[in-house]
């Protein structure tokens, strides 16, 4: 529907999951990296009972970008309204609503409404937005369906854990060591190759070849968001074979005595590759143990070298 250069469109999809569960996964923004593939990280800027401002970091066409949206949450009606605070040209304004409707106890319809305007009501700009919104809405809803159904039906595939190292040094020095990943090949024995791009300050694309204990190497690619000098969050966009999702963060908490440096990982196990990598008799539990052991070993090694670096600079 169009009036005065203002457009309203709707997309929908049916999901095999209870409406309340679908609403919760969209409402709680910490779930977004798990259910929306482009999303790297979402943070609350401010929040009250039913209103919030959120900042979203996501990838688009190979580059990372971020924006801030306001949301109004209605858990009773299973509705979430959203509005971008500042839109990027050619978009003059962009907002919409998620509406989740129960079809049965285990099935729901998700409707995604958008309303938008082009700058100066330019018809070419509006056409560009039409195509972008249509393409993005379809892929977003398809991903939402796949990932929500997987999340609801496979809580046992999800793995989250942390490793913490105590460092007698300053948070800034520990942060610098993790932030300066372009130096990791020289600084970390388990990194065979590394490439770091940071076109926008605070948004990094990190690609590296990592060696595991058995001598094999795998390539990973991550988008990282940096918050000097307290934390660095990331999402892997090129994954090893045993994972369908890998997100994490490095957290640096300074007190009068030193720093607690923590590495956190959240992983979803890729069941399709367990037998090929770990053998026919291997279980999901075996895969979780293997993945946690591999990630913990590398995280602890990295934190150990960060500790040496920071303590050497005191």
Report the interhelical angle of 171-179 vs 284-312 (nearest 10°). Answer: 120
Residue 5: pLDDT over 70 = no
45: left (phi over 0), alpha (psi -120 to 50) or beta: alpha
Q: Give CA–CA dist 224/222, Å, rounded.
A: 6
Tens of pLDDT, residues 106-122: 999 999 999 999 999 99
pLDDT at 82: 97
Higher pLDDT, 2 or 62: 62
In the predicted model, what is the mean pLDDT of the chain? 92
pLDDT at 224: 95
Considering the entire predicted model, what is its pTM? Answer: 0.86
Q: Give CA–CA dist 225/270, Å, rounded.
A: 25
- Averaged pLDDT for residues 148-170: 90
Residue 239: pLDDT over 80 = yes
Residue 3: pLDDT over 60 = no
pLDDT at 155: 73
Higher pLDDT, 60 or 149: 149
pLDDT at 258: 96
Higher pLDDT, 145 or 1: 145
pLDDT at 120: 92
Tens of pLDDT, residues 43-92: 999 999 899 999 999 887 667 788 999 999 999 999 999 999 988 888 99
Residue 262: pLDDT over 90 = yes
Residue 19 Cα to chain centre, angstroms: 23
pLDDT at 134: 94
- Averaged pLDDT for residues 143-161: 88
Give 44's contacts (C-beta < 8 A, 6+ positions apart).
Answer: 29, 52, 53, 54
Give the pLDDT band (50/70/90) at residue 2: low
Higher pLDDT, 210 or 3: 210
- Averaged pLDDT for residues 133-145: 93
Tens of pLDDT, residues 180-220: 999 999 999 999 999 999 988 888 999 999 887 777 788 99
- Averaged pLDDT for residues 244-249: 94
Nearest to 98 by CA among 114, 72, 70, 79: 79
pLDDT at 172: 96
Instruction: Write down all domains in the chain, each with its CATH number in brackets.
Output: 2-153 (3.30.530.20), 156-312 (3.30.530.20)
pLDDT at 167: 97
Higher pLDDT, 153 or 17: 17
- Averaged pLDDT for residues 12-29: 95
Q: Give the range among 94-108, 153-167, 178-192 with minimum mean pLDDT.
A: 153-167
Phi, psi torsion values for 169, nearest 5 degrees: -165, -160
DSSP letters spanning 72-101: EEETTTTEEEEEESSPPTTEEEEEEEEEEE
Residue 49 is given by DSSP the state S
């Amino acid at each position: 529907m169009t009036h005065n250069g203002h457009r309203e469109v709707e997309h929908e999809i049916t999901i095999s999951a209870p409406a309340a569960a679908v609403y919760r996964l969209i409402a709680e923004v910490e779930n977004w990296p798990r259910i929306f593939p482009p999303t790297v990280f979402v943070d609350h800027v401010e929040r009250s009972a039913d209103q919030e401002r959120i900042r979203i970091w996501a990838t688009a066409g190979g580059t990372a970008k971020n924006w801030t949206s306001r949301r109004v949450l209605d858990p009773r009606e299973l509705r979430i309204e959203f509005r971008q605070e500042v839109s990027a040209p050619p978009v003059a304004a962009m907002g919409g609503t998620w509406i989740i409707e129960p079809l049965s106890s285990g099935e729901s319809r998700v409707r995604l409404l958008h309303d938008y305007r082009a700058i100066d009501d330019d018809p070419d700009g509006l056409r560009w937005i039409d195509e972008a919104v249509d393409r993005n809405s379809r892929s977003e809803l398809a991903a939402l369906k796949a990932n929500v159904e997987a999340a609801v039906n496979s809580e046992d595939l999800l793995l989250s854990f942390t490793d913490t190292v105590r460092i007698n040094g300053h948070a800034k020095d520990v942060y610098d060591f993790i932030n300066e990943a372009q130096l990791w090949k020289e600084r970390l024995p388990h990194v065979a190759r590394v490439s770091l791009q940071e076109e926008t300050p605070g948004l990094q694309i990190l690609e590296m070849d990592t060696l595991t204990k058995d001598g094999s190497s795998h390539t990973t690619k991550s988008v990282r968001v940096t918050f000097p000098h307290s934390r660095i969050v990331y999402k892997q966009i090129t994954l090893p074979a045993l994972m369908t999702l890998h997100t994490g963060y490095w957290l640096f908490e300074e007190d009068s005595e030193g720093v607690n440096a923590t590495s956190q990982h959240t992983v979803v196990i890729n069941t399709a590759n367990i037998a090929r990598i770990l053998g026919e008799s291997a279980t999901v539990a075996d895969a979780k143990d293997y993945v946690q052991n591999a990630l913990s070993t590398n995280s602890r090694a990295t934190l150990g070298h960060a500790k040496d670096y920071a303590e050497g600079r005191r």
